[in-house]
Amino acid sequence: MFSDYLTESERQLVEKARVFGEEHFTEENVSRWYKEGGIPGDVAEAYRCSDLGYLGFSPERGGPDVSYTAQIAILAELTKSAGAIMPFQSQLLDFQVISRFANEEQMNMILKRYEETSRPCFCTAISDAGSGSDALGYRTTVRKKDGKLVLSGEKVFVANGQHTPYIMVSAKDLTEESDFISAMPSFWLIPSSCEGVSALPINKIGQKIIPFAALRFDNVELKPEWRLGTPYQALSQFQSILDIGRCIICAGSVGLAQAAFDDAVHHANARKIRDRRIGDFQQIGLMLTEMNSMLINMKAHINHACRSIEQGSGAKLAVALMKKYVPATAGEVANRAMQIFGGAGYTDSSRVGRIWIDCRGSQYAVGTDQIMVNIASRAILDKYAEQ
């Protein structure tokens, strides 16, 4: 889908993603994993052992030496193949995140764990129960109590939150009397087994291969060495993670949309009513045309954002525009695909219904549509004000 912007070797990796998907992501498998809320160990291991397995890690850590665009292209390809949001999406995000924050020791632990289990050993708990959209208005805190670091608060919507041995958690740092520091988020990598940590599953309506949990932290005692990064870098690291994270979400969205489109065109060719393929009805033709245009648009937005990140300029605007446009538009594509399938689109006999539901979740993850508008519009105004 993104081949114009890739090198030859990157293109080969994308092709490997396609082949990997073809082998493992049969609809029978995917719909079973959807019911079970996860992928089996052998698939996770096959992925780790493939050339894609360390995607998200830097080359020094074993990651492939590819551009962001290539990573996005690979994830989009995997998602297209599956027709569902796959754990490889959150995993890519997790590895990108942790690579920015963790020190040598932490990284070694994470890599070792990954080798052992073929799964990321941690989840990323950012959204506070009371203030998902207000990234800096959260109430989860780390304080000093009797000389000890104590974490309290409640996180929601944490992908894989119930299953990982570690939790990466963000908290307001109130350990020092510094307005500056308390305004920054602080990040910690803590064992889920700590006393005071509890997890409750949250039932999502879609994206069920990656289950959700709410996490409570009741006066959890932290060790200082669990801190990720330094207070002073946290904000800019966090910002760059949000940028990458938003691209990753959109990679999933475009993959889903492409799958829905492909399925819909095939159906429009195959399904005949009174010997006419339904694709020849103008109402269906109009939908196909709109869907194709939307795919062009989604890819353009993603490319634009990836390149802005790579070139280090204008990323804020480009990423927000992308994250506003792509997930909602993926839903529009899937919605049309469902209609083209007729009643079958509303059942398990096609995968477009599931795709439609999976698309929807990405209008919140890593920042809602509305927050994107706020970021983008401010960036637009500023860009022109400078002129």
CB burial readout 139-152, b (16+ within 10 A) else e: ebbbeeeeeebbbb
> Can you name the residues that pair with 222 across neighbouring β-strands?
149
DSSP state letter for 280? G
Among 109, 117, 181, 364, binds a copy of itself (CB under 8 A): 364
Instruction: Please state, in angstroms and rounded to a whole number, the distance separating the CA atoms of residues 324 and 368.
Output: 8
- Residue 80: HSE in the Cβ half-sphere, 13 Å Cα cutoff: 24
**203 near ligand FAD (CB under 6 A):** no
All residues at 6 or more sequence positions from 227 whose CB lies less than 8 Å from its CB, including other chains: 186, 187, 188
The residue among 213 and 306 lying less far from ligand FAD, judged by its C-beta, is 213
Pair 324, 376: CB distance under 8 Å: yes
In the window 321-380, what residues touch ligand FAD (CB under 6 A)?
339-340, 342-344, 346, 361, 364-368, 370-371, 374
Q: Decide whether 194 or 344 has the Cβ nearer to ligand FAD.
A: 344
Contact indicator for 160, 211 with CB cutoff of 8 Å: yes
Closest to a copy of itself by CB, 236 or 289: 289
Q: Is the dihedral of CA 320, 326, 327, 331 positive or negative?
A: positive
Q: 227 phi and psi, to 5 degrees?
A: -60, 140
- Residue 159: name its binding partner from a copy of itself, ligand FAD, none (Cβ under 5 to 8 Å by kind): ligand FAD
User: Interface with ligand FAD includes 289 (CB under 6 A)?
Assistant: no
The Cα 91–Cα 140 span in angstroms is 24
Q: Which of 257, 284, 330, 337 binds a copy of itself (CB under 8 A)?
A: 284
Rule CB under 8 A: is residue 286 a binding residue for a copy of itself?
A: yes
Contact 257, 265 (CB under 8 A): no
User: Quick check: 140 binds ligand FAD (CB under 6 A)?
Assistant: no
Q: Tell me how many residues contact a copy of itself (CB under 8 A).
A: 78
Among 193, 203, 283, 387, binds ligand FAD (CB under 6 A): 283
CB closer to a copy of itself, 118 vs 362: 362
End-to-end Cα separation, the chain, in angstroms: 35
Q: Pick one of 239, 273, 311, 313: the residue that binds a copy of itself (CB under 8 A).
A: 273
Among ligand FAD, a copy of itself, none, partner that 125 touches (CB below 5 to 8 angstroms by kind):
ligand FAD
Is the Cα torsion angle 104, 109, 110, 115 positive or negative in sign?
Answer: positive
Q: How far apart are CA 97 and CA 166, in angstroms?
A: 14
**What six digits make up the tokens of 92?**
């890519």
Q: With CB cut-offs between 5 and 8 Å by kind, which of a copy of itself, ligand FAD, none does residue 324 bind?
A: a copy of itself
Please, what is the angle between helix 87-101 and helix 68-82, to 10°? 160
Q: Which of 30, 126, 334, 376 binds ligand FAD (CB under 6 A)?
A: 126
Selected range binding ligand FAD among 44-52, 65-73, 275-283, 348-356, rule: CB under 6 A: 275-283
**Is residue 183 within the footprint of a copy of itself (CB under 8 A)?**
no
Q: How many CB atoms lie within 10 A of CB 316?
A: 20
User: 218 in helix, strand or coil?
Assistant: strand
Selected range binding a copy of itself among 17-25, 47-55, 144-152, 348-356, rule: CB under 8 A: 348-356
Stretch that binds ligand FAD, among 60-68, 153-161, 256-264, 376-384 (CB under 6 A): 153-161
Contact residue for ligand FAD among 18, 143, 216, 271 (CB under 6 A): 271
In the complex, least distance from residue 283 CB atom to ligand FAD, rounded to whole angstroms: 4
Which residues contact ligand FAD by CB under 6 A? Answer: 124-127, 131-133, 155, 157-159, 207, 271, 273, 278, 281, 283-284, 339-340, 342-344, 346, 361, 364-368, 370-371, 374
